[in-house]
Amino acid sequence: MRAAVIQFPGSNCDRDMAVAIRNITGTETTLVWHGAGELPDGLDLIAIPGGFSYGDYLRSGAMAARSPVMHAVIKAAERGVPVLGVCNGFQILTEAGLLPGALMRNAGIRFVCRTVGLTVENNRSVFTSGYSAGEQVRIPVAHHDGNYFADTETLDRLEGEGRVAFRYAENVNGSARNIAGLLNAAGNVLGMMPHPERMIEAVHGGSDGRRLFEGLVRQIA
């Protein structure tokens, strides 16, 4: 398995993501700077990490979504390469048009930083096969703009197509239909606000995030 983690100016979960992938899947992970026009050959996973790319200027993820490397990420996603966007990565994926909808300022205005309960809605994707459908897991969130918005028609369609991967057990940020994680139509792109890479060993207070990566490596290998 070959994995790359994309780094933007202001990314701050890039190393955590690389360590999680390396420790759990046993593969060396390449860090790719946002200015790169191409990605390494033969990637099995592209991760877009959390942080505050470009200082959240204009809108969270807006500038990063238009950076050179994203053209290559979009092409890879279209070829079926799994793309995981966490937190700012989810915002970047919606801004880049790889996922529908938008992530707005939390309904309560406040930055939310705590471990939350999530329900696994769809365990049939490459990212969620390590979980059981309907299972509750605990994974931390840390965001200011995690309030998922899409129009009612889009939300109905996404639910009908089973594209909601994770839902908040309690609504922490105003997200429509409690959506915490969303898949693209082909199922190879997942955006999620919670940070699985921050819940991979006992010292983190749990390891529910670990199973996302374990499931992924079983699906890809």
Residues forming the active site: 87, 195, 197
List the interface residues with another protein, window 79-98 (CB under 8 A).
94-95
Rounded Cα distance, 94 and 137, in Å? 24
Is residue 115 classed as helix, strand or coil in its secondary structure?
Answer: strand
Amino acid letter, 134: G
Identify which of residues 130 and 146 has a Cβ nearer to another protein in the complex.
Answer: 146
Minimum distance between the CB of residue 154 and another protein, rounded to whole angstroms? 9
Minimum distance between the CB of residue 196 and another protein, rounded to whole angstroms? 25
Rounded Cα distance, 25 and 145, in Å? 30
Which two three-digit tokens encode residue 67? 């950076």
Binding residues for another protein, rule CB under 8 A, total 19
List the interface residues with another protein, window 120-159 (CB under 8 A).
147, 149-150
Q: How many CB atoms lie within 10 A of CB 124?
A: 11
Cβ neighbors of 89 (< 8 A, separation 6 or more) are 47, 48, 49, 50, 191
Rounded Cα distance, 58 and 179, in Å? 24
Rounded Cα distance, 34 and 1, in Å? 22
Per the DSSP assignment, residues forming a β-bridge with 209 are: none
Which two three-digit tokens encode residue 106? 């939390």
Residue 108 contacts another protein per CB under 8 A: yes
Minimum distance between the CB of residue 146 and another protein, rounded to whole angstroms? 12
Candidates 15, 22, 66, 204; binder of another protein (CB under 8 A) is: 66
Identify which of residues 95 and 208 has a Cβ nearer to another protein in the complex.
Answer: 95
Identify which of residues 62 and 142 has a Cβ nearer to another protein in the complex.
Answer: 62
Identify which of residues 47 and 64 has a Cβ nearer to another protein in the complex.
Answer: 64
Minimum distance between the CB of residue 186 and another protein, rounded to whole angstroms? 20
Binding site for another protein (CB under 8 A): 58-59, 62, 66, 94-95, 100-102, 104-109, 147, 149-150, 174
